[in-house]
Amino acid sequence: MQLATLLIGLISATALWSGVQALNQQARTSYDRAAATFGGARTAMLVARTGVSFPQELFVELRRAGWPVSPMLEGRIQIEGRSFRLLGIEPVTLPAEVGSAPTIGKAGLQSFMTPPGEMLVAPETLSDLKLAEGARPQGDGGAPLPPLRVQTNLVPGVLVVDIGIAQNLLKMPDQLSRLLIGKATGRHPPLESVAGDKLRLVEADAETDLERLTDSFHLNLTAFGLLSFFVGLFIVNSAIGLAFEQRLPTLRTLRACGVSARMLNAVLVLELVSLALAAGLIGLVCGYFIAGALLPDVAASLRGLYGAQIPGHLTLKPQWWVAGLAISILGALAAAAVSLTKALRLPLLATAQPFAWQQAQRRWLTYQSAVALVAFAAAAGFLWFGDSLISGFAVLAALMLGAALILPMFLEIVLSLGQRYARAPLGIWFWADSRQQLSGLSLALMALLLALAVNVGVSTMVESFSRTFLVWLDGRLSAEVYVSAANDAQAHEIKAWLRERPEVEAILPGGRADTQLAGAPLEVLGLPDHATYRDNWPLLQSTENAWVKLRPGDAALVSEQLARRLHLSLGDRIEVPASGGNWTLNVVGIYADYGNPKSQIAVNFAALTRRFPEIPLTRMGLRVAPPKIPALISALQEKFGLDDRNVADQARMKAESTRIFNRTFSVTAALNAFTLGVAGVALLTSLLTLANSRLPHLAPLWAIGVTRRRLAAIELLKTTSVAFITTIFALPLGLLVAWCLLAIVNVKAFGWRLPFHVFPLQLLWLTGVAMAAAVAASALPVIRLARMQPTSLMRIFANER
């Protein structure tokens, strides 16, 4: 039995931990792939000091002056109404260390650079486009693009062409977006002497943008994995404790026969390590399946939240297996440490305990509470002084550690209060015995507390999120139908056609430009001056008549993320690099932009098209009376050959967004439920461990005339009441956790803060689940007790050794 629980504990600990690690590893590999795309943040580069591009001559001059630079042009093009990132490179000067370039090769170079050239794409992009290698898709203007060629280590969604071709396609002749800097071979003059103040150096970053953005997500996963791992170790710990307790007589006999303590320990460790190895292997296989099952959701989350592309199948490195086994063995040894030191110091004769249980318990409680207070102080310190995501998690970790450690003290206080007010002898015994059982159950109860608190915290967060998100989505998607045309010309035709339709109440053109602000990508959104936005757009803060102030084109609304990142408040000014130079904008409002990894600002649509004349004007929102929507959509699709991706109604977009966000949190929810289950198993093993040592406690009561059934009922009541007290303690802790997640971790991780809501029904439900888990965990030992043979109880009273 304890072998089974030991294995279950080790397997679930290893499985959850390594499953999470597999997911993280998988994602990291993909990010590396993304970073390998030329000009990721891992290369130092030069960019324009003002505006988004600069003249090509600067490249020639720098190159002549000995700078190891390579030109690059970046922009977006549309293929069949979908937008892709287009990178123009110059393969000859491309520094070797930026990644995929060498694979173009000498032979490939010729066909890449000479017309019609080649367009390199990831295999995923090719299948997305439903095209074969060598095909030539149609571009914006209807002209054929260079033939497609697959390059496996490219990120999906990116098209790579020769720089000349890119300049043509993007209608930016002789313009460059940036210069990548390779390893310097000789000395070169300072930048200013060659390029004046036109260019700015951006240092290489160890982390890519994507890694930085997704860090929080992975930290989140890791935190959960770690939590599950520890809860699993609780099980292992109690199983080993039980096994040791049962073997004590044998160990004593062996020692009495002259086997040295060291030898005995060596044997025990060897046994444990081989068990851990076996359990670790099974755990790894389970972990692989867990990761495989969660991967689609994780991939969807990462795509939805950060636009990161993760392939849908797992590839694991050998290190993963080794690390998994190591952690299983280390975990088992850590969990066994107490029992092993006991074995090492095992006195040959069982000696009477010098302290009564009460004194021993008081010492232990005082000690733990002192450590708990230190943990709380640390949490407060992190809260006060910390200003990063890591410190946010540190607050959470210290808070939970402190709460777990203070839990026994809390239980002790509640139970001794109960004992003080109990009058009936069985009542007094009920409380007194629960107190005495505390030390044996506390680890399992701590596991329950942590699992519950995290569950309360996360589900409160998810619920707060989905409530806020749905309201917000209603405001953001206020047009009934969204259309995205294949190109500007078609957009023009569509508009003309729509104006003739009486059911279309308004056509709201939209546009978007990509630029940079303070070293990070920035989206500039153009919104037409229309009541739809004035009435619905979700502003968090605004000056009076903010929408009117947008009209002249010198004001912007900024997203919460951007406002937090740059510490912007109403009335501040920002300088946004635009095509013709920098654009100075007044901040007149701050709006919620949940789930967007990029910073965003919203400006007047007409002003946007003036400042970024090259952006496609293919998107528009339509106000239509709801009953007329389906007919209009099918008419549009038929008339202009648009498919589902190009025309979408509001309901579908909402459903889509909601789905992405639900999937984002479904991973956490799954891990969450798992932790609660593991905590239940921990409680069960602790109760089973205690069951044997409890017989001397129960037998006298039985002999005195308390029936076994009654004893069993009392035992059940005892477990459920300590579990209940733990749950009561877990609820406020969970809400505190939720607050930390919403107000600290989320702000640091995503840049937005969510309003905090409490959901009483959900708390009630979780309390019910916890109580059900406690009842389920005590069922087996209690049934055993109720059915126990009288002889097993009688044996207690006779010294039969």
Partner 1 sequence: MTKGIPSATGPVLHVTGLTKSYRTAGEEVAVLRGVNLTVAAGESVALTGESGSGKSTLLHLIAGLDAADGGEIRLADASVAELSDAERAELRRDRLGLVFQQFNLVPSLTVEDNLAFQSRIAGRHDAAWHHELVERLGLGRFLKRYPEQLSGGQQQRVAIGRALAVKPLLLLADEPTGNLDEDTADEVLALARDLVKRSGCGFLMVTHSARLAATLDRQVNLHAGVIA
Give residues 731-790 in contact with partner 1 (rule: CB under 8 A).
790
- Whichever of 421 and 797 has its CB closer to partner 1, that residue is 797
CB-CB contact of 682 with 230 (8 Å): no
Q: Is residue 432 a contact point for partner 1 (CB under 8 A)? A: yes
- Whichever of 191 and 432 has its CB closer to partner 1, that residue is 432
- Whichever of 96 and 424 has its CB closer to partner 1, that residue is 424
Buried b (16+ CB within 10 A) or exposed e, 354-381: eeeeeeebeebbeebbeebeebbebbee
Q: Which stretch binds partner 1 (CB under 8 A): 2-10, 276-284, 429-437, 576-584?
A: 429-437
Q: Is residue 347 a contact point for partner 1 (CB under 8 A)? A: no
Helices (H) then strands (E): counts for the chain: 23, 20
Distance CA 35, CA 626 (A): 45
- Whichever of 212 and 697 has its CB closer to partner 1, that residue is 697
Whether cis (ω within 30° of 0) applies to the bond prior to 116 is yes
Q: How far is the CB of 700 from partner 1 (least distance, A)?
A: 5
Q: How far is the CB of 703 from partner 1 (least distance, A)?
A: 5
- Whichever of 193 and 799 has its CB closer to partner 1, that residue is 799
Q: How far is the CB of 1 from partner 1 (least distance, A)?
A: 23
Q: How far is the CB of 352 from partner 1 (least distance, A)?
A: 8
Instruction: Using the Cα atoms of residue 612, residue 618, residue 621 and residue 623 in order, give the sign of their dihedral.
Output: positive
Residue with tokens 């439903």: 130
Distance CA 122, CA 159 (A): 8
Q: Which stretch binds partner 1 (CB under 8 A): 356-364, 648-656, 661-669, 674-682?
A: 356-364
Q: Which of residues 150, 378, 428, 735 is near partner 1 by CB under 8 A?
A: 428
- In Å, the largest CA–CA distance within the chain is 102
- Whichever of 439 and 543 has its CB closer to partner 1, that residue is 439
Distances (CA, A) of 315 to 27, 187, 290, 319: 10, 44, 14, 12
Distance CA 362, CA 597 (A): 51
Q: Which stretch binds partner 1 (CB under 8 A): 248-256, 350-358, 618-626, 734-742?
A: 350-358
Q: How far is the CB of 441 from partner 1 (least distance, A)?
A: 14
Q: Which of residues 352, 500, 502, 643 is near partner 1 by CB under 8 A?
A: 352
Q: How far is the CB of 784 from partner 1 (least distance, A)?
A: 17
Instruction: Work out whether strand 175-176 and strand 199-202 pair parallel, antiparallel, or are unpaired.
Output: unpaired
The string of DSSP codes covering 571-596 is T-EEEEEETTEEEEEEEEEEE--TT-
Contact characters 673-712, partner 1, x per CB under 8 A: -----------------------xx-xxx-xxxxx-----
Q: Which stretch binds partner 1 (CB under 8 A): 11-19, 74-82, 219-227, 348-356?
A: 348-356
Q: Is residue 349 a contact point for partner 1 (CB under 8 A)? A: no
Q: Which of residues 318, 348, 353, 638 is near partner 1 by CB under 8 A?
A: 353
Number of residues that bind partner 1 (CB under 8 A): 32
CB-CB contact of 745 with 392 (8 Å): yes
Distance CA 365, CA 131 (A): 69
Distances (CA, A) of 523 to 213, 306, 512, 776: 16, 14, 7, 53
Q: Is residue 356 a contact point for partner 1 (CB under 8 A)? A: yes
Instruction: Using the Cα atoms of residue 420, residue 423, residue 428 and residue 430 in order, give the sign of their dihedral.
Output: negative
- Whichever of 186 and 354 has its CB closer to partner 1, that residue is 354
Q: Which stretch binds partner 1 (CB under 8 A): 45-53, 153-161, 209-217, 426-434?
A: 426-434
Q: How far is the CB of 355 from partner 1 (least distance, A)?
A: 8
- Whichever of 250 and 353 has its CB closer to partner 1, that residue is 353
Q: How far is the CB of 682 from partner 1 (least distance, A)?
A: 23
- Whichever of 168 and 436 has its CB closer to partner 1, that residue is 436
Q: Give backbone dihedrals phi and psi of 453, rounded to 5 degrees, phi first.
A: -60, -45
- Whichever of 357 and 765 has its CB closer to partner 1, that residue is 357
Q: Is residue 796 a contact point for partner 1 (CB under 8 A)? A: yes
Q: How far is the CB of 350 from partner 1 (least distance, A)?
A: 13
Q: Is residue 433 a contact point for partner 1 (CB under 8 A)? A: yes
Q: Which stretch binds partner 1 (CB under 8 A): 95-103, 418-426, 656-664, 681-689?
A: 418-426
The string of DSSP codes covering 125-191 is HHHHHT--TT---B-TTSPBPPPEEE-TTSPTTEEEEEHHHHHHHTT-TTEESEEEE----S----H
Closest Cα to residue 330, out of 225, 263, 233? 233
Q: How far is the CB of 436 from partner 1 (least distance, A)?
A: 4
Distance CA 742, CA 184 (A): 46
Distance CA 558, CA 591 (A): 6
Q: Is residue 350 a contact point for partner 1 (CB under 8 A)? A: no
H or E element in which residue 312 lies = none
Q: Which of residues 109, 248, 772, 794 is near partner 1 by CB under 8 A?
A: 794
Distance CA 418, CA 426 (A): 12
Give residues 434-493 in contact with partner 1 (rule: CB under 8 A).
435-436
CB-CB contact of 797 with 707 (8 Å): no
Q: How far is the CB of 344 from partner 1 (least distance, A)?
A: 25
Closest Cα to residue 392, out of 747, 20, 758? 747
Provide the phi-psi class of 491: left if phi over 0, else alpha when psi is between -120 and 50, else beta: alpha
Q: Is residue 357 a contact point for partner 1 (CB under 8 A)? A: yes
Instruction: Work out whether strand 520-527 and strand 599-604 pair parallel, antiparallel, or are unpaired.
Output: parallel
Q: How far is the CB of 353 from partner 1 (least distance, A)?
A: 6
Q: Which stretch binds partner 1 (CB under 8 A): 18-26, 231-239, 393-401, 432-440?
A: 432-440
| Residues binding partner 1 (CB under 8 A) | 352-353, 356-358, 424-426, 428-429, 432-433, 435-436, 696-697, 699-701, 703-707, 790-791, 793-794, 796-799
